[in-house]
């Protein structure tokens, strides 16, 4: 059971990386105020509780399946069934969940799939972040930056190739990175939205910088 769950999540993560890798190179200019993340996710809902940030509630288990309350109506769900939700858990934040039931018992229901998170009016600011919210998502990201462009969701810019490595702007301390070196940034995107980027330099030259790693989002306090 757990092995199948891990394989499903791994497949979603690999697909996410492949799709993101096809994106275009980001050009210099103002950092985008509309950020879109496509992140694999697994969620566990305790019996009697709601899925974080939604009105979907796991009521009980019977010999027919899992009984779930969706917008006030009871739905019977079995393994492999869809359990989708779309809404705005915070102002300026749209979440589109495309999930499938992995398994359930008398205590909890577990689902896995993808979360599309769209953040409007993003203004990345370096800050100590709050990570206690149950509404959080983590997934792979890959970005290609032209010289002068900024890593989305951060204040870090690629200032160009030098003899010491790729030079980064908007960071504290030593600004140079070689292939394989880490880039870490965390802060706020808008009120109640926190991000942590754990990236690595994949490649750089005179034309651009390519980074990849994980983006972690927390919505709410």
pLDDT in tens, 45-82: 999 999 988 999 999 999 999 999 998 899 999 999 99
22 pLDDT exceeds 50?
A: no
| Domain range for 14 | 2-219
**Would you state the pLDDT for residue 6?**
47
Cα distances (angstroms) measured from residue 179 to each of 36, 187, 205, 214: 26, 24, 10, 17
- Is residue 145 over pLDDT 70? yes
Separation between Cα atoms, residue 209 and residue 157, nearest integer Å:
10
Contact status, residue 13 vs residue 6, Cβ threshold 8 Å: no
Q: Who wins on pLDDT, 24 or 216?
A: 216
| CA-based torsion, 44, 53, 189, 204: positive or negative | positive
Instruction: Return the percentage of the chain with pLDDT > 70, whole number.
Output: 88
Nearby residues of 39 by Cβ (< 8 Å), 6 or more positions away: 16, 114, 115, 116, 117, 137, 138, 139, 215, 217
Number of domains making up the chain: 1
**Overall size of the chain counted in residues:** 221
181 burial (CB, 10 Å; 0-12 / 13-18 / 19+) is: middle
Q: Are 54 and 85 in contact (CB under 8 A)?
A: yes
Residue 16's pLDDT is 46
pLDDT at position 121, please? 95
The predicted-structure confidence for 150-166, as pLDDT tens digits, reads as follows 999 999 999 999 999 99
Q: What's the pLDDT band for 30 if we cut at 50, 70, 90?
A: low
Question: Which pLDDT does position 188 carry in this prediction?
Answer: 97
pLDDT averaged over the chain? 89
Averaged over 22-38, what is the pLDDT?
77
Q: Which helix (H) or strand (E) holds 144?
A: strand 136-145
| pTM attached to this predicted model | 0.83
166 class by beta-carbon count within 10 Å (0-12 exposed, 13-18 middle, 19+ buried): buried
Q: How far apart are CA 205 and CA 37, in angstroms?
A: 26
Residue 25 near residue 91 (C-beta atoms within 8 A): no
Q: Which two tokens stand for residue 22?
A: 């096809």
- Mean pLDDT over 6-28 rounds to 52
39 has pLDDT over 60: yes
With 0-12 / 13-18 / 19 or more C-beta atoms within 10 angstroms meaning exposed / middle / buried, residue 146 is middle
pLDDT in tens, 168-202: 999 989 999 999 999 999 999 999 999 999 999 99
pLDDT of residue 20: 43
Residue 7 has pLDDT above 60, yes or no: no
- What's the DSSP call for residue 53? T
Place of tokens 């096809």: 22
């Amino acid at each position: 059971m757990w092995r199948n769950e891990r394989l499903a999540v791994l497949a979603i993560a690999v697909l996410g990386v492949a799709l993101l890798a096809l994106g275009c190179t980001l050009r210099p200019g103002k950092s985008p105020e509309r950020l879109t993340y496509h992140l694999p996710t697994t969620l566990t809902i305790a019996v009697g509780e709601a899925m974080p940030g939604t009105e979907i509630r796991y009521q009980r288990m019977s010999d027919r399946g899992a009984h779930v309350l969706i917008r006030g109506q009871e739905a019977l769900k079995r393994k492999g069934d869809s359990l989708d939700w779309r809404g705005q858990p915070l102002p300026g934040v749209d979440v589109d969940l495309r999930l499938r039931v992995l398994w359930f018992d008398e205590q909890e229901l577990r689902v896995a799939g993808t979360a599309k998170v769209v953040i409007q009016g993003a203004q990345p600011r370096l800050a100590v972040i709050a990570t206690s919210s149950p509404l959080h998502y983590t997934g792979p990201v890959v970005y290609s930056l032209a010289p002068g462009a900024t890593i989305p969701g951060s204040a870090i810019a690629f200032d160009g190739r030098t003899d010491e490595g790729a030079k980064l702007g908007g960071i504290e301390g030593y600004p140079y990175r070689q292939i394989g070196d880490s880039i870490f940034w965390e802060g706020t995107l808008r009120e109640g939205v926190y991000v942590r980027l754990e990236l690595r330099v994949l490649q750089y030259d005179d034309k651009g910088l390519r980074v990849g790693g994980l983006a972690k989002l927390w919505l709410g306090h």
